[in-house]
């Protein structure tokens, strides 16, 4: 299930990244969650879709946190094996 078309943008500011993530990913899921609780709109299938969206948003955020240190710091790799082949 594809919710949106993925794109890649470099955002230098951490606050701008968190704000963009909220408006692009979290807010639509939160609105869908509120709508799923309304009588007549909140069918079982819609609620299941909302739960999948919440799960995917959570996993996207966790993946970003996992790679945050590697994307915000520069690394110098030093290895004897690499020097032998250089």
pLDDT in tens, 21-76: 999 999 999 999 999 998 888 888 999 999 999 999 999 999 988 888 777 777 66
Q: Which helix (H) or strand (E) holds 83?
A: helix 80-85
- As a residue count, the chain comes to 86
Q: Are 22 and 53 in contact (CB under 8 A)?
A: no
pTM reported for the whole predicted model: 0.67
Would 9 be classed as within a structural domain?
no
The domain tally of the chain equals 1
Determine the structural domain holding residue 77 and report its residue range. Answer: 14-85
The C-alpha R_g of the chain, in whole angstroms, comes to 19
Would 53 be classed as within a structural domain?
yes
Would 19 be classed as within a structural domain?
yes
Q: Are 85 and 68 in contact (CB under 8 A)?
A: no
Q: Tell me, what's the pLDDT at 7?
A: 75
28 CB contacts (<8 Å, ≥6 apart)? 53
Would 18 be classed as within a structural domain?
yes
Would 4 be classed as within a structural domain?
no
């Amino acid at each position: 299930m594809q919710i949106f078309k993925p794109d890649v943008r470099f955002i230098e500011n951490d606050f701008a990244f968190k704000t963009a993530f909220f408006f692009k990913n979290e807010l639509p899921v939160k609105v869908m969650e509120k709508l799923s609780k309304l009588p007549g709109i909140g069918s079982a299938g819609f609620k299941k879709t909302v739960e999948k969206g919440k799960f995917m948003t959570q996993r996207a955020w966790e993946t970003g946190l996992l790679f945050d240190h590697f994307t915000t710091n520069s690394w110098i790799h030093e290895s004897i094996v690499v020097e032998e082949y250089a």
